[in-house]
Amino acid sequence: DSGVTQTPKHLITATGQRVTLRCSPRSGDLSVYWYQQSLDQGLQFLIQYYNGEERAKGNILERFSAQQFPDLHSELNLSSLELGDSALYFCASSVGLAGYDEQFFGPGTRLTVL
């Protein structure tokens, strides 16, 4: 157990819908990362937050948004869902920003868009 929790574990929804994925980082970790793992694109970085502020964006679609709340948990919002959004979404957290800081991954949320 990495100490990072993600809910829900599985999510099945239809095209055009909107979903919210939730992540609680390890106690004391200020940095949160979201990654998407799909068969065709592999593991890709979506967005990073540090202590409530957006720090960097990666290959995140405009239909997707995220935020980190004062209690440091984070939510990833996916809207106007398409079949291609089906993937495993990981949240990871680290204590700080040093390159050496290990990123601890949550168990992921499996999103299926039908």
Partner 1 sequence: AQTVTQSQPEMSVQEAETVTLSCTYDTSESDYYLFWYKQPPSRQMILVIRQEAYKQQNATENRFSVNFQKAAKSFSLKISDSQLGDAAMYFCAYRNENLQGGSEKLVFGKGTKLTVNP
Using CB under 8 A as the binding rule, whether residue 2 contacts partner 1 is answered as yes
For partner 1, the binding residue among 81, 92, 111, 113 (CB under 8 A) is 92
Cβ 16 to partner 1 shortest distance, Å: 27
Half-sphere exposure of 29 (CA within 13 A, CB side): 27
* Neighbouring residues of 98: CB distance < 8 A, sequence distance ≥ 6: none
Provide the 10 A C-beta neighbour count for residue 69: 10
Using CB under 8 A as the binding rule, whether residue 114 contacts partner 1 is answered as no
Q: Which residue has the tokens 């290990």?
A: 102
84 Cα distance to chain centroid: 16
The interface with partner 1 within residues 13-72 (CB under 8 A) comprises 31, 33, 35, 42-45, 48, 55-56, 58
For partner 1, the binding residue among 5, 60, 73, 88 (CB under 8 A) is 88
Tell me the CA end-to-end span of the chain in Å, nearest whole number: 31
The binding site for partner 1 (CB under 8 A) comprises 2, 31, 33, 35, 42-45, 48, 55-56, 58, 88, 90, 92, 94, 97-103, 105, 107-108, 110
